[in-house]
Amino acid sequence: MTARTPVPSPVPSPALDSLHGLVLGDAFGDQWLAVSPDEAPGRYLARELRPGPWEWTDDSAMAQVLVRHLVVHGEVRQSALAGEFAAAYAADPDRGYGPSMHRVLRAIGEGGDWRAVTTGLFGGQGSHGNGAAMRVAPLGAWFAADLDLVVEQAHRSAVVTHAHPEAAAGAVAVALAAALAARGRTAPAPGRAGFLQQVAELLPDSDVRSGLRIAARMPAGTSVRHAAAVLGSGYRLSAPDTVPFALWAAAGHLDDLPQALWTTLGSWGDTDTTCAIAAGVVAARTGAAGVPDQWLTACEPVPDPAGR
C-alpha cells in the first residue's frame, strides 16, 4: 500500500458540536463526584449547579486527541492514534485516567506496540472498560453520512487501547448513536425505543447490545433510578455497565442537552463518563442550544482541534 500524505480536514460541525458537548458533560459530571453522598440527592433535586471552574477529565482529553487525529488523517490510523493518546497522557497525566490506561499509555509511550500492550491486559482478554466509548461520540458525528464507516472507524479507534470485544462494542454503539443524532438534526427527534433499537441492530452480539435491547423495552416513565439499577451506570467501569444506560438517558432527551445531563447524573455512577457519552450524542444534534451561559462559562475550555 502506498502511504498517502495527510491532508488536514475541516471538522464537520456536528463533530465539533459533539466534542464540545462531550467536554461539557464530562466536566459537569465530574464536579458531582466531589459531593458527599449525604448532600448530593438534595442538591440534585434543587438542580443546584456546582461552583466553577468545571475541569474536564480523561474522557475529554482522549476525545480531543481523536478529533485532532481525524483533522490530520481523515480516518483512524491506529499506530499514529496510539502514539497520540500516549503523548497526550504523558503531557497531562493527572486527568483521572483509569489504572489500566495508565499502564497502557505509559507502555505505548515507551515504545511498546499497541497490539501487544493492549492484549497483554487482564490475562490476554484486554480491557473491557468504558474508556473507548467515552471518547468516541465526535467520531460518530464525523462519519455520520455512512453508518458502515462509523462502525469500522469506531472499532478501529477502540482497539488501540481496549482489546476486549465488549469495549469495542460499547464504542461502536456510542458512535452509532452520535451518528444517528447528527443525521436527524433537521428532522423531529426519534422516539427513545426506536433510536435504541436502531443502534442495537447494527452491533455485534454482545452484552452491550443486550443491554441496549433491554433499555429499548423499558416503558415510558421508567425512573432514572430503576434504569440505572437494571442497566448499570458505570459503577463497575465496564462498557456493558456504562453504555446502555448513558444511551438510554441521551435517547430520552435528544433535543434537550441540559435535561439529558441532569437525567444522566441521576444514576450516580461513573458520572463524568456517563455524562460525557450522553452529552456527546445529544450535542451532535443540538449543539449548545439551550445550554445556560453559566454552564458554558464554568466549563474549562478546549483548544480548537483544527488549530495549527
Binding residues for Mg(2+): 57-59, 270, 272-273
Nearer to Mg ion, 59 or 166 (CB): 59
Binding window for Mg ion (CB under 5 A); candidates: 35-43, 55-63, 68-76, 103-111 = 55-63
End-to-end CA distance of the chain: 28
Q: Which of 272, 277, 284, 291 binds Mg ion (CB under 5 A)?
A: 272
Binding window for Mg ion (CB under 5 A); candidates: 150-158, 160-168, 234-242, 268-276 = 268-276
**Would you count residue 57 as binding Mg ion (CB under 5 A)?**
yes
**Would you count residue 131 as binding Mg ion (CB under 5 A)?**
no
* Residue whose beta carbon is closest to Mg ion: 57
Site string for Mg ion, 8-47 (x = CB under 5 A): ----------------------------------------
Instruction: Please state the closest distance from residue 131 (CB atom) to Mg ion, in A.
Output: 9
Nearer to Mg ion, 31 or 263 (CB): 31
**Would you count residue 270 as binding Mg ion (CB under 5 A)?**
no
Nearer to Mg ion, 139 or 144 (CB): 139
- Binding-site positions read 57-59, 270, 272-273
**Would you count residue 59 as binding Mg ion (CB under 5 A)?**
yes
**Would you count residue 58 as binding Mg ion (CB under 5 A)?**
yes
Instruction: Please state the closest distance from residue 192 (CB atom) to Mg ion, in A.
Output: 26
Across 215-248, b (16+ Cβ under 10 Å) vs e yields bbebeeeeebeebbebbbbbeebbbbbbbbbbbb
* CA neighbor of 177 nearest in space, from 251, 239, 287: 251
Across 254-263, b (16+ Cβ under 10 Å) vs e yields bebbbebbbb
Q: Which of residues 64-103 bind Mg ion (CB under 5 A)?
A: 96
Q: C-alpha grid cell for residue 282? A: 445529544
Q: C-alpha grid cell for residue 88? A: 497526550
Q: Give the CB-side neighbour count of residue 258, counting CA atoms within 13 A.
A: 12
CA angle 187/192/198 to nearest 5° reads 80
Site string for Mg ion, 224-263 (x = CB under 5 A): ----------------------------------------
Instruction: Please state the closest distance from residue 24 (CB atom) to Mg ion, in A.
Output: 13
Instruction: Please state the closest distance from residue 177 (CB atom) to Mg ion, in A.
Output: 19
Q: Which residues bind Mg ion (CB under 5 A)?
A: 57-59, 96, 272
